[in-house]
Structure 1
Amino acid sequence: MKRIEINPMTRLEGHGKISIFLNDEGNVDNAFFQTVELRGYERFLRGMPIEEVPRTVSTICGVCRGVHYTASVKAADAVYGVEPTPTARKIRELFLNAHYVEDHCAILYALGFPDFVPGPTASPAVRNLIGLIETVGVETGRAVLKKRSSAVKIVEMLGGRPIHAVAALPGGWSKRITEEERQEILKLSEDLVELGQMTLQVFEDVVLKNQAYMELVLGDMYKVVCNYIGTVDDQDKVQYYDGTQKIVDPAGREIGRFQGKEYLDYIAERVLPWSYLKMPYLKKGGWQGVADGDNTSLYCVGPLARYNAGSGFDTPLAQEAYEKMKEALPPGPVHNIMVYHWARAVELLNAAEKVRQLAEDESIIAPDIRTPLGEAVGEGVGIIEAVRGVLIHHYQTDSRGIVEDCNLIVATTHNKGPINVAIRRAASHFIKDGKVDEGILNMVEMAYRPYDLCLACATHALPGRSPLQINIYDARGKIYQSMNNF
């Protein structure tokens, strides 16, 4: 049996590798997505005051910092049994949506689009951001960078820093928005909306109008049939900061909803011997292995999951783009993972519109930015829709608010099973009779890029930790160790 390694994996955040095993005929016998780094934040957050946690978990990743910051401060609210004031909630939502715009923009242009411009099998020397700019035009590239910088400026204005924010507090926010800042954010939001519209146009011109690329987008080689979890409001519209986590099965039937600590009723985590990244699955279906299909217990999160679980958006331009997208795609849940890129572009526009809506609200400059804290109640769960999907921060503290245990389930962790299926399916499709070259291996790598992997964000638990029992399995599927805590 021959082994092929893609090491390191390219155009993602963090470090990982792909191991592909070929049989004697040169066809794929199996393939594994392996995470080879360990960050360990679940461990060293213990002993830290809960109010310091948001500033600390922000440093998990320089790209995903805003979502960890937001989820953890929501958990800190719950530890103290408080809700942020209406003004503080609006500021947090404004912060999160500005972060959405700059993050989605970076992922689409730097990591996703280069597979289509100049093309999947082009030389790596041009299959990158620079090659993309050379193809779409320097002026377009300059406009994208300028408009994205407007989103970063809003993040800095609200959070105190452009990268790792410092303004969040349990129960609220530490810094008011002045009227002058509101007017500036309102002006900057026009750049964001234009960026969203431009990005959808680029996607249409580059991908939707190219028949060969659409065969990849809608082909079975990039198709994973699984369950989906996305956050929605009372009208089933996609939400990012708050809402209810809705679960649908591969046929689109709703099979559950949860909020807060209820996630433990639906999600279980498993440790496999070949990766530092845990493998979540739905408890209701039980562990069915790393396989997709109608009876799978695997699920995914992120833009495509939000598309499949929700019923559109609550802003007009994004809803119009969503309806156009829905008309062009097959009815029911879409399992073609390249559609992640399309859904991501629609969400960029949605988040930009939300920034504008929130900046138009004059009440956002009100002085009530923090709810007084009471005694620590000892446990808090913060859940948001991170850019990459559902993000769960769960902390247990003592009576002083000192963290005693924590559980982080990051979007890439949720997606671990479907990513592995996607890589195996793409490898089986493109590698035949032992023929392998750089272009073919990139077509395999294209199977994980729609999920927008952030492995730095996702690798925090050593095998076994409360509150869930973790079983460690050997290669034959037998339990050789069972743990409740590290």
Structure 2
Amino acid sequence: MTRRILIDPVTRLEGHGRIDIRLDEAGNVSHAFFQVPDFKGFEQFSVGRAAEEMPTLTQKICGVCPTAHHIAGTKALDDLFTVTPPTAARLIRELMHTAFIFEDHLLHFFYLGGPDILVDGDPAKQNHNVFGAIAAMGDTLGRQVINIRKKVRAMNAMLGGSALYPVCGLAGGVSKPVDAKMRAEIIQTSTDALALARQLLAVFHDKVRKKPLYKEMIGNPAFNLSTYYMGLVDDNDRVNFYDGRLRVVTPDGRPWACFSADQYLDHLAERTDVYSYMKLVYLKKVGWNGYQDGPDSGLYRVGPLARLNAAKAMATPLAQQEYERFYDTIGHKPAHNTMLYHWARLIEVLYAAEQMVILSRRKALTDPHVRTLPTQVPTLGVGVCEAPRGTLIHHYQTNANAIVERCNLLVATQNNAAAICLSVEKAARALIKKGNVTDTCLQQVEMAYRAYDPCLACATH
């Protein structure tokens, strides 16, 4: 007799989802589905709106990564109106975006996916939540994390007009400059953020990496996927959150493609599946070959681990040291274990903090010239940035009056969607045998999706 197991709803992520596991007569997994039942029609109801509204409209897709949508949308406006923002405007945008990634990564590590690796024991008896995470990392550090996230959000409210939903992005620049007083506060907050990031990694190496649970997870083939990887890189192929080219590497680490955002349709293709509203993206030139990994599968991954795998290095010295330590420890590149997303995320926390310090000290940050007014008739524009969860692309096509006629959004979790589904099924097949299903077993199946830090509302846009 067959058996069905539902994990509904899945928890500690943004959006609504469930895991549907089917067991055969022997009690082993025959199929496992990661399903997203909600739907948002942002691409369609963006049609007919003024293009200038898009950075503030599209960010309402998401409650955890609106800043990334605001940045991608604003960059799409630059491209749409063929206008280059002044240096100060670019610095303000990049600083705000980098600070957002810093605090959002902390959100995931302490509140969402991190408790999976921070808290040992049976999930039915332990606090697999922020309280358990803080207890594991230490109350003092936990309070510092809460405090620095508050400061960084206040800084972004100062830069963008809102801590959650920025309103500063305009075609050709931003709405207001940074003055000397603001800059002094930004420098202090950035310096505090860097100190916290260094301390957090030290504690991670001392406590988390030594945990039997984490050692078991990163060595467990049930969490391995051998996929392609994609991320934004600068001219030296180093990780870049704000701008650059999209670099793709093969499952064995060889360069496969490198292209600008306006060429994404030549390389990436979207598809839907009957059991979920979550849209999937795959590498067009490899093709869609179903839910499987390996070089013959068009599946690829984005986000912290993928960015490290796709890049040749980090762009800041302390993050570069951690990057080298990461791959020296793993022993190979690319690193394929999904549980390594947590470690990679902390390396990016350090990188973001270093970048915040660098950007805040740039003399041009306080230049009052923060916008170049558009003069060109719009047609289409593409903007790209790295959201915390991975690569984000906004593509707008308009009429001569800048009214949107077509909108295409390719969001971070969409890139990871097929890999998330495969990760869940692979973990379920490995962990559930002969009908033996425990809370701990199901918790570990859930770990397979939470490490990606998915935003399901974004993926069903």
TM-score when scaled to structure 2? 0.98
Report the equivalent of 1:476. Answer: none
| 1:210-232 deviation digits (Å, cap 9, x = unpaired) | 24421211220111111111111
**Partners of 1:118 and 1:258 in 2: how far apart?**
41
**Partners of 2:188 and 2:220 in 1: how far apart?**
42
Report the equivalent of 1:311. Answer: 312
**Partners of 2:113 and 2:141 in 1: how far apart?**
17
What letter is aligned with 1:358? L
Displacement of 1:121 in angstroms is 2.9
- Matched residue SS, 1:229: strand
Displacement of 1:120 in angstroms is 5.7
Report the equivalent of 1:418. Answer: 419
| 1:259-280 deviation digits (Å, cap 9, x = unpaired) | 1220000001111111101111
**Partners of 2:214 and 2:288 in 1: how far apart?**
35
Report the equivalent of 2:344. Answer: 343
Which has the higher mean CA deviation after the structures are superposed, 52-61 or 5-14? 52-61
**Partners of 2:114 and 2:71 in 1: how far apart?**
28
**Partners of 2:113 and 2:205 in 1: how far apart?**
14
**Partners of 2:95 and 2:207 in 1: how far apart?**
31
Displacement of 1:409 in angstroms is 0.9
Q: Is the 8 A contact 2:245 2:259 kept in 1?
A: yes
Report the equivalent of 2:365. Answer: 364
Describe how 1:459-474 pairs up with structure 2 within 5 A: 459-460=460-461
2:422 is aligned with 1:440:
no
Which has the higher mean CA deviation after the structures are superposed, 117-126 or 358-367? 117-126
Note the residue ranges of structure 1 that are not aligned, 5 or more in a row.
461-486
Moved segments of 4+, more than 3 Å: none
2:33 is aligned with 1:49:
no
2:139 is aligned with 1:138:
yes
Describe how 1:371-450 pairs up with structure 2 within 5 A: 371-450=372-451
2:196 is aligned with 1:189:
no
| 1:223-263 deviation digits (Å, cap 9, x = unpaired) | 11111111111111100100000011111111111112200
| 1:84-107 deviation digits (Å, cap 9, x = unpaired) | 111111111001011011100101
Displacement of 1:124 in angstroms is 6.2
Q: Is the 8 A contact 2:123 2:439 kept in 1?
A: no
| 1:395-422 deviation digits (Å, cap 9, x = unpaired) | 1111011111111111100101111111
2:379 is aligned with 1:354:
no
Q: Is the 8 A contact 1:176 1:365 kept in 2?
A: yes
Report the equivalent of 1:294. Answer: 295
**Partners of 1:63 and 1:124 in 2: how far apart?**
29
User: For the structure 1 residues 120 and 285, does the alpha-carbon distance in structure 2 shift closer, same or farther, using more than 3 Å as the test?
Assistant: farther
Note the residue ranges of structure 2 that are not aligned, 5 or more in a row.
none
Report the equivalent of 2:166. Answer: 165
TM-score when scaled to structure 1? 0.93
Q: CA RMSD in A?
A: 1.2
2:222 is aligned with 1:214:
no
What letter is aligned with 1:115? D
Displacement of 1:378 in angstroms is 1.1
> How many matched pairs?
460
User: For the structure 1 residues 422 and 124, does the alpha-carbon distance in structure 2 shift closer, same or farther, using more than 3 Å as the test?
Assistant: farther
Identity in percent? 44
Q: Is the 8 A contact 1:101 1:352 kept in 2?
A: yes
What letter is aligned with 1:129? V
**Partners of 1:294 and 1:348 in 2: how far apart?**
30
Report the equivalent of 1:31. Answer: 32
Report the equivalent of 1:463. Answer: none
